[in-house]
Chains A and B, each alone.
Chain A
């Protein structure tokens, strides 16, 4: 299979390549991701217990508390952040967390959303994926 290229909105720039972790459920960072380990500890989601560290983390959108932005920032501070974020729709709470991560901890983690194909349908957990946040592109290199 040839590589697939998706085009969307570049929220935050940066280039990252890594293995995808895909959730078809909303992700709550606040009380849902343990920053000191980079592990999803929300018992209500299927990815409970999975590590997000270094992954291309794909999920539809965020849910829940306005404090998720500082849970994201703490995960970055602890060095346990994903390599990139791909959402259907990236809300302000998520963007704020990763923008602060850039300003405080020089973590250039790309964030893209509004892709021309549904990332949840095209990308599978374990796929090798390359994200270019400035161009707003996602390449699925191998399944």
Chain B
């Protein structure tokens, strides 16, 4: 494997013990997978949630601190496993919160930004077309590769620390142009599409293509950034889709033929009937919802506006809860717009910087949840042993508020 003088110096310890440890990991992995060299990565999205890192991940982060490590590229992190506003009142154990706090302090000491979000691109971590980055979190990876045209693999938790400490990753997988070509053609014929439709379409695509790269045709011109966020998050839940192309909407497919002259391995088509069937399949509960969950991936400002509009002047039914997941950055903007007040006045909780997929539920045992997110509907039933109702945001609100 070819290394530059600077990379050799890091490997030999000339830049300190933390970059040395990180370079040993990167070079070893590069050798195993036949990488010819390392690529420079311009930002990292790392995981620092105790719910998935456990004590081992905490010990890893604290090891880098003990070695005097500093992140040398802009680095943001995934949500935490607790919400600072609400962990006490929903009944997260003190010991759990204390472990999460240690992990947070470790990554802040290493130089991470306190972004705590799965949508780092809405919090200032925004690579340009063609730029190499090292991101974790499947929905963020999909967004970076597909919507932004940046390049990242599905970087394992823990390995991103090495990228952040060195600004390097082995040149393999989606860093190489030849591995970014479309493989499966997906034709969509569903007319105008709602936010829920993009979620549902993502589930259908992920289930059918697995880990191959789909090229999605027939999406409306009105498709927005949040719509693509949901499409990618859902396809990365039911499948392992790290990159999709949508000619006319995503940059790589617009700059040239996404199949690069090859024929698709397979052609699929999805219409209204498929959406309806998949929507039904994701609803597993017959009873009334007790807990609403929105913001998976994290709600954007327009989504906070939409929700505030639906909740204005309403009250949640007694015994019902609504947890709104968003980033601290979006929350601050929403606060300034008066949206946080509209949402909390109805009785909902804003769980900024947090995510229910990677967090304990707290002291209450909910039987039935309702969500407007395909990713949440895919993961939460098995993670928290609950029944699920999968519907659009307006349907979710009307299920939870007093009639």
Query: Chain A interface (Cβ within 8 Å of chain B)?
Result: 11-12, 30-31, 35, 42-44, 63-71, 73-74, 76-77, 92-93, 95-97, 99-100, 103-104
A99-B29, A104-B63 known; A73 vs B141 contact (CB < 8 Å):
no
A64-B240, A65-B52, A103-B25 known; A73 vs B33 contact (CB < 8 Å):
no
Query: Contact between B63 and A66 (Cβ–Cβ < 8 Å)?
Result: no
User: Could you tell me the distance between the alpha carbons of A96 and B47 in the complex, rounded to whole angstroms?
Assistant: 14
User: Could you tell me the distance between the alpha carbons of A100 and B156 in the complex, rounded to whole angstroms?
Assistant: 11
A11-B32, A92-B33 known; A70 vs B382 contact (CB < 8 Å):
no
CB distance from A28 to the nearest CB of B (A): 10
Query: Contact between A67 and B59 (Cβ–Cβ < 8 Å)?
Result: no
Query: Contact between B29 and A43 (Cβ–Cβ < 8 Å)?
Result: no
Identify the closest chain A residue to B28 (Cβ).
Answer: A99
Query: Contact between A73 and B47 (Cβ–Cβ < 8 Å)?
Result: no
- Please indicate the chain A residues that have their CB under 8 angstroms from the CB of B33 in the complex: 92
Query: Chain B interface (Cβ within 8 Å of chain A)?
Result: 21, 24-25, 28-29, 32-33, 47, 52-57, 59-60, 63, 136-138, 141, 153-159, 172-173, 240, 358, 379, 382-383
CB distance from A82 to the nearest CB of B (A): 16
Query: Contact between B157 and A67 (Cβ–Cβ < 8 Å)?
Result: yes
A-B pairs with the 8 shortest C-beta distances? A67-B52, A69-B156, A74-B54, A73-B56, A96-B156, A74-B56, A77-B56, A67-B157
Query: Contact between A66 and B29 (Cβ–Cβ < 8 Å)?
Result: no
Identify the closest chain B residue to A77 (Cβ).
Answer: B56
Write 12 A-B pairs (CB below 8 A) sorted by A numbering: A42-B382, A64-B240, A65-B52, A66-B136, A67-B156, A69-B156, A73-B56, A74-B57, A92-B154, A92-B155, A100-B158, A103-B21
Query: Contact between B137 and A66 (Cβ–Cβ < 8 Å)?
Result: yes
User: Could you tell me the distance between the alpha carbons of A121 and B11 in the complex, rounded to whole angstroms?
Assistant: 41
Query: Contact between B29 and A67 (Cβ–Cβ < 8 Å)?
Result: no
- Please indicate the chain A residues that have their CB under 8 angstroms from the CB of B32 in the complex: 11-12, 95
A70-B57, A71-B54, A92-B156 known; A31 vs B240 contact (CB < 8 Å):
no
Query: Contact between A95 and B138 (Cβ–Cβ < 8 Å)?
Result: no
User: Could you tell me the distance between the alpha carbons of A96 and B136 in the complex, rounded to whole angstroms?
Assistant: 13
Give chain B's interface secondary structure class: helix
Identify the closest chain A residue to B136 (Cβ).
Answer: A66
5 further contact pairs, Cβ within 8 A, besides A69-B157, A76-B56:
A65-B52, A67-B52, A73-B158, A97-B156, A104-B56
Query: Contact between B57 and A73 (Cβ–Cβ < 8 Å)?
Result: yes
Query: Contact between A93 and B154 (Cβ–Cβ < 8 Å)?
Result: yes
- Please indicate the chain B residues that have their CB under 8 angstroms from the CB of A43 in the complex: 382
Q: Within the complex, which residue of B24, B53, B138, B155 is in contact with A70, where a contact is CB–CB below 8 Å? A: B53
Query: Contact between A96 and B158 (Cβ–Cβ < 8 Å)?
Result: yes
User: Could you tell me the distance between the alpha carbons of A105 and B164 in the complex, rounded to whole angstroms?
Assistant: 23
Residue among A65, A68, A92, A93 facing the most chain B CB atoms (10 A cut-off): A65
Identify the closest chain B residue to A97 (Cβ).
Answer: B156
Query: Contact between B55 and A77 (Cβ–Cβ < 8 Å)?
Result: yes
Query: Contact between B29 and A95 (Cβ–Cβ < 8 Å)?
Result: yes
- Please indicate the chain A residues that have their CB under 8 angstroms from the CB of B53 in the complex: 67, 70, 74
User: Could you tell me the distance between the alpha carbons of A100 and B55 in the complex, rounded to whole angstroms?
Assistant: 13
User: Could you tell me the distance between the alpha carbons of A104 and B59 in the complex, rounded to whole angstroms?
Assistant: 9
Query: Contact between B55 and A74 (Cβ–Cβ < 8 Å)?
Result: yes
User: Could you tell me the distance between the alpha carbons of A93 and B55 in the complex, rounded to whole angstroms?
Assistant: 18
Query: Contact between A100 and B60 (Cβ–Cβ < 8 Å)?
Result: yes
- Please indicate the chain B residues that have their CB under 8 angstroms from the CB of A68 in the complex: 156-157
- Please indicate the chain B residues that have their CB under 8 angstroms from the CB of A67 in the complex: 47, 52-53, 136, 156-157, 358
Identify the closest chain A residue to B25 (Cβ).
Answer: A99
Q: Within the complex, which residue of B24, B47, B54, B59 is in contact with A66, where a contact is CB–CB below 8 Å? A: B47
- Please indicate the chain A residues that have their CB under 8 angstroms from the CB of B60 in the complex: 70, 73, 100, 104
Identify the closest chain A residue to B170 (Cβ).
Answer: A92
- Please indicate the chain A residues that have their CB under 8 angstroms from the CB of B54 in the complex: 35, 70-71, 73-74, 77
User: Could you tell me the distance between the alpha carbons of A30 and B237 in the complex, rounded to whole angstroms?
Assistant: 13
Query: Contact between B138 and A65 (Cβ–Cβ < 8 Å)?
Result: yes
User: Could you tell me the distance between the alpha carbons of A67 and B52 in the complex, rounded to whole angstroms?
Assistant: 6
Query: Contact between A96 and B159 (Cβ–Cβ < 8 Å)?
Result: yes
- Please indicate the chain A residues that have their CB under 8 angstroms from the CB of B24 in the complex: 103
Query: Contact between A69 and B55 (Cβ–Cβ < 8 Å)?
Result: no
User: Could you tell me the distance between the alpha carbons of A11 and B29 in the complex, rounded to whole angstroms?
Assistant: 9
Residue among A31, A64, A69, A97 facing the most chain B CB atoms (10 A cut-off): A69
CB distance from B207 to the nearest CB of A (A): 12
User: Could you tell me the distance between the alpha carbons of A99 and B60 in the complex, rounded to whole angstroms?
Assistant: 12
